[in-house]
Each structure stands twice: as structure tokens, then as C-alpha cells.
Structure 1
Amino acid sequence: MINSYAGFDDAGVAIAAAGAGADVVRNMYGQRLTRIDKGAGDFATAADVEAEKTILGVIHSARPDDAVLGEEGGQQGFAEAVRQWLVDPLCGTLNYAVGNMLVAVNVALRNGAAAVADPFSGEVFFTDGETAWTRYEGADVQLAPTSATQLVDVNLDPPFPSAPGFRAVDLLARPGFVERFRPRVVSTTLALAWVAAGKRAAYVTDGGDLSGSVHFAAGIALCQAAGCVITGIDGAPIGQAGRGLVVAADAESHGLLMSMIRSRS
């Protein structure tokens, strides 16, 4: 069998894998899907599983020696491998299951290329690790973050590991926040791609080290390559020292959000 991905660079593999997963998610949308209980109120659907299987098929075909960490299938290959792909086949499963189209397909090579596909808009946001682009109907446009929209997405999903010092919901009630920004809650890391693309001014979420998360790695890579300002909610660089994320289109927006977070903490 001819390997149709032969000759693809890593960005090309990420785009192809995310796009293939997005096709599955879009084609299975609206069906009555089996829910697979994952505990603590979390679940996957048959679409999550099928999309991940399809994504892994692309990666294994293009990069058979690379390791993969998938949200549904777990680790394949050595966890300490030099090259490891992080796959979230359907970010926003609850949205999807109730007929909400705000979802994303995330594929990232750790410390390298990444792609985030929106199955319903047809956009694929991607980076080669140096610059970031969006591909729509065959045309590529370089991403340009801006805070012009003044829209800030805030992740309100539990758990809340930084409480009581920090609760995202408290941020929304601060006078300084509503004077400058307007809150949005989409419950998917598609919002990170929107910050990189200038559709959102910022994104805030609690959590631990999210740099190696299958949910966040692709979005973080996009925002870094696009030139966004990124720290943890404690102001530390993302990684083991930082926790959660404050991602902003520019330094001014990031500084305003950090001042509100710090004053509350």
C-alpha cells in the first residue's frame, strides 16, 4: 500500500491528522452515540473513539516510530520517546453530545508542530513550531492576535485546584474585568486557537501544568508561534513552574488580567 503521507513535514502530518479526525466528528454529528463513562461526570462518545482511531492511523502511517498519547487510548510507544504526539480527538465532548458545534480536534507533536481543526467551520489552525496559520478552503493566512474584540474566554469547568485563592468565576464579577472585557464560555480549547487568530482577546483557565496536556498542547503551540503572551495564573512560565493558563493577544491585556487575578488571590 502506498503511504499517502510520505514526504509530509510535521506540520503537514498534524494538519492531515486533525483534518481526518474532524471529518469523523462532523460525519457522526447528530447521531445517537454510545456514551463511555470515564468517572466524575466525564464521558467519551463513539465519535471520540473513532476520531482518535482515525488520527492515529494518519500518524502511524506518516511517523511509524513516534510515540502517541491519546485521550481515549492512552500511551502508545515509549512515554520517554524523543518524539511524542498528543491527541485530543474531540475537545468539547459534552457540547457535541448535546448538539452544540463548539468543539475542536487537537493534534500536537510535543515541542513541535501542531494543528487544531474546527470540524464545523472548516478551519484548521496550525503551526510548524515557528509561525502560525489558519487554512480555510485551501488558502493559508498567518495568524495575527489582537485584543480588539475585548472577548475573554474563561474555563468554568471543575475541578478548581487553586480555590479559594483563585476561582475563574470570581474574575468575571470584578469591576475592572467588565469595564474592559466581555466574558465568554465555550467549554473547549478551540478558544485558544481563537486567541491566536484574533477572535478572542484572551483565555483563562485554572489547572496544573498544562503544557503536556492532550487538551491544551496544540492550542498552546499555536499561541506561542503567533506571539501571544502566555503564563500560568500565578504569572510563572508555563510548564512545571506554572499552573493553569492566562493567554492574551498582547501584553496590556495579559497585564490587566494578571492584576485582577493577583488582587483577588
Structure 2
Amino acid sequence: MLLDGGVDVELAVEAALAGAGVVREKYGRPVGRYDKSATDFATDADLEAERAIVDLIRQARPDDAVVGEEYGAEGGSDDGQNRTWLVDPLCGTLNFAAQTPLFCTNVALQANGQRLVAAVADPLADEVFWTDGTTAAVRRGGSDAPLEPSAGSRIVDIDVDAPPDAEFRQAKVLLDPEFRDTFGPRVSSTTLALAWVAAGRRAAYVTNGQLRDSVHFTAGIALCLAAGCVVTDLRGQPLHTGPGMLAAADPATHAKLVELIARNP
């Protein structure tokens, strides 16, 4: 069975919380740093959190594949179901290392390219956002409350990193007077902002790049879709058919941002 009722979503929640527990325990303490490039690195927290998540998933679902940000792909069976867990143990590593409390742990299950369940845990707020693919909620203190998108904050979170060949330079839209008159920009540098769109804490989230099967974005995308947000590429077309992603709380916010992005390529 591709989705085992509520068992898979509870596993996603438990796994995300396991990783978040490692991250929380290490926050504010000296950690080892492992450079990937001049501007990208992992820490002991990334590595240990991913291992805690993967070990839990492997115990519960030994035949499933797992793709992690740090350790890569492992496992999987030949039963034709293609169940794959996507794990980002610490989204916002730079924030974490700088003791800036904006980061999260992402866990998502896909099968045959379809998002099934997902969980995004905020280690310091002690809350976890989850979806079973149909409903979406946030769990605090053992109680679940439905996620309800809202554009009321007028805050738009923009990931300003752009690859060298990007069709859209996110920073340009920040200079548009109409954008500044309509929205309040923020740069959180973590996909936790996607969960905030689903929860009504952000009006929208904008990022660049190719995001299909991404360990960083899949969980947050699943939350937004299940909560009823409008999620497309940067041109307003179906997600993954063009560059980047725009996740908005409602159609009006989405339409305005598509317009602003189009005139600020």
C-alpha cells in the first residue's frame, strides 16, 4: 500500500521531531563545521539530526528509500511502489550557526512522484506542521489545530539567493515601489517560511531554482497545497513547469506577485 493510513503521517511527525530534538540540544553550543563550498557547509547538528531521522524511518519502513541532504540516498525495494522519504535535517544551517533562531527540520514521503505526507518541525518553537496529503495542521503540546492561510500580514518572504543563470533575480522585485507599497518583505533564509504561509503567518513565499524532488522544499510545498494555498512557478504556471516557486495565501496575493515578478525579471 502506498500510504498506510495515519501511520505514515505520524512517522513523518515523529521523525521530524527526532531531528528537531537533536538540533535544539545543539543550538547555541560549539559544533563542528564541514565545508561543502565557500558559501555552504554542514554542522554536527545537520549530520546527527539526519542520522536520527533516517534511523527511525529505517526501523519503521525498512523497504522504503531515503534521500537525505547530508548522507544522500539509501535503501529502497523493487516492489514497484517507489516510496521515498526526503529529509532535510536542518534547513537554515547558516542561521543555526549564527545563533539566529530561524531554522527547521523537513521530512516528506513521496511515491511515484506524488507527495503523500510531510512534516516540518520548528525546534525552538516546539511545534510541528504536518499534512496527510489532504488536511494540514500544526501540533503544539500534543494538540492539533488546522492550518488556515491568510494574507493579512502582508509579509512576503523572499529567498534572495539566485543561481548565476537565473531567469528571475529576486532582489529586483524588492526595489519595485509598488511591491514596497503593497507588501512587507522578509528574508528568513529557511523553508520554515513555507509552513508560515500555510499557517497564515506569511502572505507568500518566493524562491528561485528547480524544486522537483527537493529535500528542502517538498515538505513545505505539501503543507501549502493541503492548506489551500496557491502554489505555482514564478510565471503563475503549474509548479515545476517553469522556474522557481510562488506560494501565496490566496488568489489575489498570488496574482499581484505574478504581476510584480513579471515586470522585474
TM range (shorter): over 0.9
> Which residue among 9, 12, 19 is the counterpart of 1:11?
9
CA distance in 1, matches of 2:58, 2:169: 40
Residue equivalent to 2:118: 114
- Aligned pair 1:75/2:73, yes or no? yes
- Aligned pair 1:135/2:133, yes or no? no
CA distance in 2, matches of 1:233, 1:158: 13
Please say which of residues 73-82 and 217-226 is displaced more in the overlay: 73-82
The Cα shift of 1:211 comes to 3.0
CA distance in 2, matches of 1:147, 1:161: 31
SS at match of 1:220: helix
- Aligned pair 1:146/2:150, yes or no? yes
CA distance in 2, matches of 1:162, 1:39: 20
Contact 1:192 1:219 in 2 (8 A): yes
Taking structure 1 as the reference length, the TM-score comes to 0.93
CA distance in 1, matches of 2:137, 2:56: 21
- Output the aligned Cα RMSD: 1.6
Residue equivalent to 2:228: 227
CA distance in 2, matches of 1:160, 1:220: 24
Give 1:15-26 correspondences, 5 Å limit. 15-26=13-24
> Which residue among 178, 181, 192 is the counterpart of 1:179?
181
Residue equivalent to 2:89: 89
Give 1:112-261 correspondences, 5 Å limit. 112-163=116-167, 166-208=168-210, 210-239=211-240, 241-261=241-261
Contact 2:157 2:187 in 1 (8 A): yes
The Cα shift of 1:7 comes to 9.3
CA distance in 2, matches of 1:161, 1:14: 35
CA distance in 1, matches of 2:195, 2:166: 24
CA distance in 2, matches of 1:46, 1:55: 14
Please say which of residues 229-238 and 92-101 is displaced more in the overlay: 229-238
CA distance in 1, matches of 2:33, 2:172: 32
Structure 1 residues without counterparts, runs of 5 or longer: 1-5
Residue equivalent to 2:39: 41
Residue equivalent to 1:3: none
* Structure 2 letter corresponding to 1:189: T
SS at match of 1:157: coil
CA distance in 2, matches of 1:161, 1:237: 21
**Change in CA separation of 1:264 and 1:213 when aligned onto 2, cut-off 3 Å:** same
SS at match of 2:212: coil
Contact 2:229 2:249 in 1 (8 A): yes
Structure 2 residues without counterparts, runs of 5 or longer: none
Contact 1:67 1:81 in 2 (8 A): no
The Cα shift of 1:162 comes to 1.9
Contact 2:104 2:121 in 1 (8 A): yes
Contact 2:63 2:76 in 1 (8 A): no
The Cα shift of 1:178 comes to 1.1
Contact 2:28 2:99 in 1 (8 A): yes
Contact 1:8 1:62 in 2 (8 A): no
Contact 1:150 1:201 in 2 (8 A): yes
Q: Identity percentage over the alignment?
A: 53
Taking structure 2 as the reference length, the TM-score comes to 0.93
Residue equivalent to 1:56: 54
Contact 1:29 1:96 in 2 (8 A): yes
CA distance in 2, matches of 1:197, 1:140: 12
Aligned residues: 256
